[in-house]
Amino acid sequence: MDELRFDGRVALVTGAGGGLGRQHALLLAARGAAVVVNDLGSPTMGGQDHDPGPAELVVEEIRAAGGTAIANSNSVAARDGAEAMVAAALAEFGGLDILINNAGIIRNRTFLNIGEYEFEPILDVHVKGTFFVTRPAYEHMKAAGYGRIVNTSSGSGLFGSFGQSAYAAAKAAIYGFTRTLALEGAKYQIG
């Protein structure tokens, strides 16, 4: 079987400064895609801080391997940040073919111990972030007649997980959003 290639394609990967997002970015670049590596750069899983370093390190790694990438440290949880990262892909590479919504934060608390001030940021990053980034990307993909969108969900969203009511709720929302997006995007060649 031939290797799946992405030559000439442009990808945006959120939460790509480490973990699964980093692996997505590295693989896409190794297979020919130009990649926008987005990461807020918070050194904690709570997302309280901002550091462009993690995204820049992944970009350096991609370039050292002969790939093409730029770093972006906008927050997915802010509409203007999401729009800016899509605009960066269009300005730098002239298009956007692939979007991987992977950014996320977690605050493990049992239901009776989590407050609204901890619940809302989880929804902001996971749910609103997925929506905010997808909207301008989808509009571009619709006009171009092609696009691929991958949203990171979790077994927590499908089956529940002790101490993760906020995270599970957010990941379940992403699952439903993804299923609906696939149905609506089919007629535009967005899958």
Per the DSSP assignment, residues forming a β-bridge with 72 are 38
Would residue 167 show up in a list of annotated catalytic residues for this protein?
yes
Q: Is 117 a catalytic residue?
A: no
Q: What is the 3-state secondary structure (H, E, C) of the chain?
A: CCCCCCCCCEEEECCCCCHHHHHHHHHHHHCCCEEEEECCCCCCCCCCCCCCHHHHHHHHHHHHCCCEEEEECCCCCCHHHHHHHHHHHHHHHCCCCEEEECCCCCCCECHHHCCHHHHHHHHHHHHHHHHHHHHHHHHHHHHHCCEEEEECCCHHHHHCCCCEHHHHHHHHHHHHHHHHHHHHHHHHCEC
Select which of 128, 138, 146, 171 is catalytic: 171
Give the span between the Cα atoms of 109 and 101, in whole angstroms: 24
For residue 81, the Cα-to-chain-centroid distance in whole angstroms is 12
Residues 6+ apart with CB under 8 A from 117: none
Q: Which of 167, 175, 187, 188 is catalytic?
A: 167
Positions annotated as catalytic residues are 167, 171
